[in-house]
Structure 1
Amino acid sequence: MTRHARNCTAGAVYTYHEKKKDAESSGFGTSSRRLGKDSVKSFDCCSLTLQPCRNPVITKDGYLFDKEAILTYVITKKKDYTRKMKEYERQVKEDQEEQAEKTNNETKKQLDKFISIEKNIVSSKISNASEDIPSTSGAISNVSLGKRKELPSFWVPSQTPSAKKARIEKPDSKVYCPMSGRPLKVRDLIDVKFTLVKDPSDKKSLIAKENRYMCAVTHDILSNAVPCAVLKTTGDVVTMECVEKIIKKDMIHPLSNEKLAETDIIPLQRGGTGFSTTNDNLQAKEARPALQC
């Protein structure tokens, strides 16, 4: 067989390369691409706004937020809970009214039946037994046994069954962290104090600077590639190397001489560097319709 050209369509097999090429050009099939350094937030950016924090606060799990953004998030969630709770209470009230009405109707039905029996003490024999006794034939009609009025008809609008209203579950009053999914309380937020890099020759604004902050103890430049931690007592940000080599020796704060516990050292969650050794998820996937061949 002679050698074909690159874009030859005479092949009898739809190859993987052709399928992948057609999927990319047509917009079908799940596409994945590797995230670069510019696709992830910096370590000093808010997890909600993805912008540098003006008033940074941190949770117990180490997620950094801007104070205004996280408070707005908590207030929004509480308002949403109040709205859902009102709808749930309205539903409970309607259920109680419906149950009470059903009970009253059942009581009235039994009372009417009792009165009718008392009026007709001597009952007559049933003249037409065919309506109550099912036929002995193999097939039982849906119209027999007086079920004609019970079965709805999809052709008559008045007898068409209607869908029931969706049930509302009781809302949860807790506010959960948008990053960790754990319960979040405003009083548990810890103020963070970054130490600015003092470089008189750098006249750029704080946001435009590449090296903005440094370790409060060792003055090492902080970045996504440098693991950091927040000291809960003062809110100072230090490197994990400083924690391991200096702080954990005697568990005393180097700046304030306060006694520290293990819970006072909160590792700061990093945004990402673009390297697989730092990040867990570097692949971004977009689910699209499959290409049918």
Structure 2
Amino acid sequence: MSRHSKNNTARGHFTYAEMQMLDYGTKKQRLGRDSMRDFDACFLCLQTARDPVCCLEGHLSCKECIYENILAQKLEIERQTKLLVLQEAQAQKEQEQKEELAQQIILNEFEKSHMGVLSKTESVRGKLVAVAEGTTSPSTPNGAKPPNGKKRPFELDPEELEKRSKQERIDVAKAVEEAEQAKKPVLPSFWVPSLTPSNKKTEFKATKLHTMCTASDKEHKLSLKNLIAVKFETALEDGDETETNQKASSICPICRKGFTNSTKLSILKGCGHVYCESCCQKFIKKDGKCQACGHKAKEKDIISMTGEGSGFSGGGAKEAKKFDVAFQ
């Protein structure tokens, strides 16, 4: 190995030292304990939850934070709804303008054709009329009589007349639009704003129809009436004798063990008390009631509280990825 082998750039492949300096490709790193929020932390502000509430999926948050989040989402939904209504009104207006233009073309060509100024081959409507006259019914060919030998009486149906008139206006408008598209150059002109490739009409689509909980990758519906007020059982730590210097920690009401990020927690939907999963399986499901307040609790009323894990190998697969392109 030469003296300057780590910085040798004349090779046909990257060395490990060169890749570290280049910061090339996708970088992966497992998040540790310091990167995980606590079990009683709000997923919005990342601080210890004040007046904690949780959704039906067990995502914990502050009452104030979740109210602000829901309000912001409702304002965004209202904004998107207004934009969608404006877009539909604009599209309807453009369609009416096209139909009015088509109706004017039909009337002008009708007057010119009756005056002998315009031929059918020169008119926009001529091809459409020729195609319409050339189509006949398979049972009764053009000019032939019905099988019974009697002609059908002429009946003027206003609905059918309006339907055909509207269809004719739509066909003429489509033909005019196709003619305008055919006149445009095939290659885009980058110096003309109306012909640039990026100058395309984009349709707005509403992305949100109702408020969602964004605590996990799989979003679900969220509403104020489904929020559960969470009640943690607190206990003073050892050595805290005075009330002014007290420091409380959350514990299980049954086994009196402290909660950590590695503890699997369960919340009762009816009363909001929090238990560890083992005590919930042994006592709550067996007795069918809360051990702290006596509120009835069925198996469907028990919600598993979600957390980010402890940062160890068995505490959840939390991994951060960073992708970067080389030579940019």
TM-score (normalizing by structure 2):
0.71
State whether structure 2 residue 186 is matched by structure 1 residue 150. Answer: no
Q: Alignment partner for residue 272 of structure 1, among 309, 319, 323?
A: 309
Distance 2:307 2:251 in 1: 15
| Contact 2:41-2:47 within 8 A present in 1 as well | yes
From the superposition, tell whether residues 161 and 46 of structure 1 become closer, same or farther in structure 2 (CA, over 3 Å).
Answer: closer
Distance 1:92 1:218 in 2: 61
Equivalent position of 2:263 in the other structure = 226
Where do 1:155-166 residues align within 5 Å? 157=192, 160=195, 163-166=199-202
TM-score (normalizing by structure 1):
0.79
From the superposition, tell whether residues 86 and 189 of structure 1 become closer, same or farther in structure 2 (CA, over 3 Å).
Answer: same
SS at match of 2:236: coil
| Contact 2:263-2:276 within 8 A present in 1 as well | yes
User: Which amino acid letter does the alignment assign opposite residue 102 of structure 1?
Assistant: K
Q: Deviations over 1:193-232 (max 9, x none)?
A: 11112236238999x96x7211122211111111111112
State whether structure 2 residue 179 is matched by structure 1 residue 183. Answer: no
Q: Alignment partner for residue 325 of structure 2, among 284, 289, 293?
A: 289
From the superposition, tell whether residues 204 and 221 of structure 1 become closer, same or farther in structure 2 (CA, over 3 Å).
Answer: farther
Distance 1:158 1:11 in 2: 46
Equivalent position of 1:92 in the other structure = 88
Equivalent position of 2:105 in the other structure = 109
Distance 1:192 1:115 in 2: 79
SS at match of 1:266: strand
Deviation of the 1:12 alpha carbon: 7.3
Distance 1:61 1:159 in 2: 50
User: Which amino acid letter does the alignment assign opposite residue 21 of structure 2?
Assistant: S
Equivalent position of 2:204 in the other structure = 168
Distance 1:174 1:79 in 2: 11
State whether structure 2 residue 232 is matched by structure 1 residue 236. Answer: no
| Contact 1:29-1:291 within 8 A present in 2 as well | no
User: Which amino acid letter does the alignment assign opposite residue 249 of structure 2?
Assistant: R
From the superposition, tell whether residues 159 and 44 of structure 1 become closer, same or farther in structure 2 (CA, over 3 Å).
Answer: closer
Distance 2:118 2:96 in 1: 35
Between 1:194-203 and 1:69-78, the stretch displaced more is 194-203
Distance 2:290 2:118 in 1: 98
User: Which amino acid letter does the alignment assign opposite residue 228 of structure 2?
Assistant: I
Deviation of the 1:272 alpha carbon: 1.5
Equivalent position of 2:236 in the other structure = 198
User: Which amino acid letter does the alignment assign opposite residue 150 of structure 1?
Assistant: K
User: Which amino acid letter does the alignment assign opposite residue 174 of structure 1?
Assistant: H
SS at match of 1:287: strand
Equivalent position of 1:247 in the other structure = 284
Structure 2: 5+ residue runs without aligned partners? 123-178
Structure 1: 5+ residue runs without aligned partners? 127-145
Where do 1:128-143 residues align within 5 Å? none
Deviation of the 1:155 alpha carbon: 8.1
Instruction: Point out the structure with the larger helix share.
Output: 2
Distance 2:193 2:320 in 1: 52
From the superposition, tell whether residues 71 and 250 of structure 1 become closer, same or farther in structure 2 (CA, over 3 Å).
Answer: same
Deviation of the 1:87 alpha carbon: 1.0
Paired residues, number: 265
